[in-house]
Chain A
Amino acid sequence: MSAVHSRDVDSPRGAYLAGSVAVLPFLAGTVPFGIVTGIATRAAGLSFWESVAITLLVFSGTAQIAALPLMVAGAPVLVVVFTALVISLRFIIYSAAAAPHFRNLSLAWRLLLGYFNTDTGFALFMRKMADHPDFVHRHWYYLGGGNMVALSWIVATVAGIEAGAQVPATWRLEFAATLGILALMGPFVRSRPELVAAMVGGGVALAAAALPLKLGLVCGALAGIAAGTLAERAIAENVR
């Protein structure tokens, strides 16, 4: 393992290629989900170029899928944007762990790597750094993996966007976005406090659904975060 590491990554190019190759097994999840996201985006009624723009610029399946039912319901612009903000807050956690490794890079590098901060890229990078804390060309490794994820995401979603245009409305594919949200919750609901956050978030949003401007969603998200934090504290105190 470490022999392979030292041969592969003692040049920027080698590190870039090693990152690109290491990410390949993870793409088995990215590609089908990208296709589904593309189909759902088009089925929700966005035009071809709107769909391509959202997938290129937002570049987050979770945020894109979550925004679709809100747009179909005609939620205010700021509520949709706020939702994307809350859902992508998790990237702050990922970058909190990864950021110290990039402290000495130029600002241009840090701005560039920011775009490629993804669930997959983070998992891969942190594993590599745990094995090789002194990895010099780490940013090239991160960029290689990130470029590969972005490339496959864009190709897969555009394929889905093309396919989605052919689907008749009676298939009710807009519901695929809601199913996608439920399926995506899995990795984020692994512990008891996370389950509390999900149940309180969903419960409050349902109870407050009559509020105007989809503000029930905003209340639910904030209440869920607070409840998760309190539950975690309560469990820790009980253990003690």
Chain B
Amino acid sequence: MTNHVAEYGWALWGIILGMAMVTYLNRAALFIVSDRFQLPHGWQRALRFAPAAALSAIAIPDLFLHQGQIVVSLDNIRLIAGLSGLMVAILTHSSVLAIIVGMAVLHGLQRLAG
């Protein structure tokens, strides 16, 4: 996979400052207005689903897509490594261990294939 980070140039600082601004506003907004406003209950319930939906929307295409095509087979080593990591995360609740095992599987399969 080609790395496009260098192509951003100064726009990378736009990403950093933009991310900083939206995360801070999400954190602080209700503290700032807490003397005159409380979030309606229905909104609170809907917002609970945001992390699951967004994280999955990043990770799933990353695992299944290979050069723009959906690949579900043993040849897709990212998919297998990702599922291994996910299993470890579910079983051990340790994200660090999940990353270590997932990377080990990725490298093991890469070596087998190569």
Give Cα A84–Cα B54 distance, bound, in whole angstroms.
9
Q: Which of B6, B16, B60, B110 is A203 in contact with, Cβ under 8 Å?
A: B60
- The reply to whether the CB of A201 lies closer than 8 angstroms to some CB of chain B is yes
- Bin the interface of chain A by size: 35 or more
Nearest-neighbor residue (CB-CB) of A224 within chain B: B53
Nearest-neighbor residue (CB-CB) of A71 within chain B: B5
B26 touches A91 (CB 8 A): yes
- The reply to whether the CB of B44 lies closer than 8 angstroms to some CB of chain A is yes
- The reply to whether the CB of A204 lies closer than 8 angstroms to some CB of chain B is yes
Complex contacts, B95 vs chain A, CB 8 Å:
29, 33, 36, 180, 183-184, 186
Count of A-B contacts with CB under 8 A? 307
What number of B residues sit within 8 Å (CB to CB) of A? 74
Scan residues 83-111 of chain A and give those whose CB is less than 8 A from a CB of chain B: 83-93, 95-96, 98-100, 102-104, 107, 110-111
Residues of chain A having any CB pair with chain B under 8 Å: 29, 32-33, 36, 44-46, 50, 53-54, 57-60, 62-64, 66-67, 69-74, 77-78, 80-81, 83-93, 95-96, 98-100, 102-104, 107, 110-111, 113-115, 117, 171-176, 178-186, 188-189, 193-195, 197-206, 209-210, 216-217, 220-225, 227-229, 232
